[in-house]
Amino acid sequence: MGRKSKISYEEKIKACEDYIGGKGSTSQIATDIGVSPKELRTWVNKYRTNGPESLMPKLQNSSYTKEFKVKAVEDYLSGGGSLNDICNKYQIPSHHTLRNWIAKYNPIFDT
């Protein structure tokens, strides 16, 4: 079953372009379309890093190989960037996904 976003692809693109073009702050634009400023900043980062295609709705969950997960986690742990930087670089849709991979890769043991 597909997913239906509250905000259309076209609206996301327009919001990103409005922000990048200086037509408003993240707070103003986000309020106008009914999303949080944080969500708008996430869209803008994806748009800048991977282009407008990165905002296209996905029809199903992504599947990642073990090697891909390890590469992303090791890149983060070696200082390759912030959670958001690594997610943008590897086109991982949520930093929560990356956090879960890190927790599994590098569990904290009680002594």
**Per-run averaged pLDDT (10 residues), the chain, 111 residues:** 73 96 96 95 90 86 91 95 91 89 75 42
The pTM for the full model equals 0.67
46 burial level (CB within 10 Å; 0-12, 13-18, 19+): buried
CA–CA separation, 109 vs 104, rounded Å?
A: 12
Q: Check residue 103 and give its pLDDT.
A: 92
Rounded to whole angstroms, the Cα distance separating 35 from 28 reads 10
- What's the CA angle centered on 47, arms 90 and 49, to 5 degrees? 45
